[in-house]
Each structure stands twice: as structure tokens, then as C-alpha cells.
Amino acid sequence: MDLQYLLLLQKFREATGGVLNDFFLQISDLSYGVFIWMLACILYWAADKKTGSYLFLNIAVNRFIMQLLKLTFCVYRPWIRSADIVPVETASGYSFPSGHSVTSASNYGTVLARYGKKHRGLGALMIVMLLLTMFSRNYIGVHTPQDVVVGAALGLTVVYLGMRAWAWIDEKPGRARIIPIAGVALTALFLVYISLKSYPLDYDEAGKLLVDPAKMMKDGYKDAGRLLGVSLGWYLERRYIRFSTDVPVLTKVTRCGVGALVLLVYELTFMPAVTGAVSGGWIGFVLTFGELMVLMVVYPLCFSRLEGRKSARRASAA
């Protein structure tokens, strides 16, 4: 039944000449890659630090659980299950659950939970964007309905439970250390699990692996690095830096502009160059861990120190 649905969408694409293909590809792209961290960074650095922190943590936890499920169930993509399915573009790795649905639920769900009651229009937009993202993964033929439904349900569940957990932590500051301790423990257990478990080794007619487990493990290493980086970064900033977003508009713009450039250079230039030059899955773990530490600790430390010096100079000049 799930594949019949995808074939029905495929027939619609063919009948309309793919007029909506680019639109749904763009909707899909907004919930992955560098875009998944951009909103979190803007909120965290300049607009609403608490919501930005929630968003970082929700994304990291959701992607970690998503990789755990992908590497546990090892469900093949729709076109592997049926040669009749021809996707608009292919996607690598296992299918269940949909990573785009997970991350879009993290992003849009967090914004909805934090601002939806006060800003009804924004809340409605977040719901529409989540539904469009889920449908886009079906429309372009890379995920089944159950992939996107479970992905979105996972994302929204983590957002809900996460908000309750952060409220519980805020009641007593000492509880904050639970986050880095849990991050370290879960990361270690996950890495042992994915390194030791067995994976299906099925080949196509040309003798090529349908899905290379080694590549999928590399994706797992990356999201394990993100979880560790966010859990440690969140705690270190909270404990030692404690920067504020209550700053002039120009300062906010500067923080976001410089920070966005750092993020884009790191994601689009530095990481591909290093992973291309260094083999092995562990380099992905190191790079994603380093990325989140830069975004949550190193960069905030730099701009808070620089802004503090500027304020001191203005005060002495006055």
C-alpha cells in the first residue's frame, strides 16, 4: 500500500511534467544540511538564547535517535524495494525513519512550542512547513508514508519531552550536569552498538551493495559527535560564559552575520575538505563535535569577550 501511494504520486509528476519538482525539492532542502543549524544559531546568538538552546538540544537528540533507528532496522529505500519507483532524486542510506521529517519537526516544532500560542500566524506557518516537508519526501519518491509519519512523531515527541525536561532542569541549576553526563554515556553506548552490530549485505545484479553499512555508520558517527558537542557545549556555556542576547540591534546583526559566515565556511568548505583528505568514520565524529563546540562555546566566548572590551573602552572614554 505504501509503495502504491508513491507510484500514484509518481504518475502525477509524470502527468504534470514535474512542474512541482523544484518546489518540493527546495522545501525538502530547508530541513537538512546547513539550514538545520542556522535558525538555532540566530536564536541562540542574538534573539532568544533559551529557545536557541532548546533547538540545538532538540535537533541533536532527534538526529541521534533517528540514526539509532536507521541503523537498527536497516530499511531499504522505496526504489530498492520496487524497481517501478523512480525518484526525482536519489538519497543514500536507509529509509526509516525520514531524517528530513525528524529535523523539520525539531525546527518547526520547537518554534511552534515556544511561540505558537502568542503568535498564531507563526504557529500555523510552522505546522504548514512541517506537513509540506513530510509530503515532499513522499512526493519526490525517497520515503514511504510510514517513514515520514514516524520521523515527524519522533521529532515532536522529543520537542515535547525536551521542553518538560528543560523546565525541570531550570528549577534547580545543579541538575544541568545531567545533560553532559547523559550525552557522554549515550554517545559511548551508541558508538559501541553501531560498531559491533551486524548489517544486511545485499547486492544488486551488478554485484554492488544495495546499501553500504560502512557509509551509514559514518553518518551515525557524525550525529553522535553532534549530540556530544551540543550536550557539552550547552553546559559549558551555561556554566562559564553566560552571554546575553539583551544587546543593541547592531550587535545582534554583527553576531549573526559573522557567525553565519563561520558556519557556512565550516559546513561547506572546511568539513568537505577534511573528510575528503582523511579516511575513516571517526573524522566525521570529530568534525561535527568540533562544529557544535564552535557554535555554542568558542564563538560566543569570542564575541562576548570582544564586546566586553569595547564596552570597557567606551566607559573609560566617557
- Going from the first residue of the chain to its last (318 residues), give the mean pLDDT of each consecutive group of 10, the final group possibly shorter: 92 94 92 84 94 94 96 94 91 91 94 92 95 96 96 95 89 90 97 94 87 90 96 95 94 95 91 84 92 96 87 59
Contact assessment for residue 210 and residue 204, using Cβ atoms and an 8 Å cutoff: yes
pLDDT for residue 317: 57
Q: Which residues pair with 65 in a beta bridge?
A: none
Helix (H, G, I), strand (E, B) or coil at 203: strand
- Residue 97, C-alpha cell as written in the block: 525513519
pLDDT for residue 2: 86
Contact assessment for residue 157 and residue 25, using Cβ atoms and an 8 Å cutoff: no
Cα 188 to chain center, whole Å? 20
Q: What pTM was estimated for this model as a whole?
A: 0.91
Work out how many domains the chain is built from and give that number: 1
Domain membership of residue 158 as a residue range: 2-317
Whole-number Å distance between alpha carbons of 283 and 267 = 14
Whole-number Å distance between alpha carbons of 92 and 33 = 14
Helix (H, G, I), strand (E, B) or coil at 94: coil
Helix boundaries (H) for 197-248: 213-236
pLDDT for residue 316: 59
Asked if residue 248 has a cis previous peptide bond (ω within 30° of 0), the answer is no
pLDDT tens digits for range 38-59: 999 999 999 999 999 999 999 9
**Sequence-ordered list of residues with C-beta below 8 angstroms from that of 274, at least 6 positions apart, any chain:** 283, 287
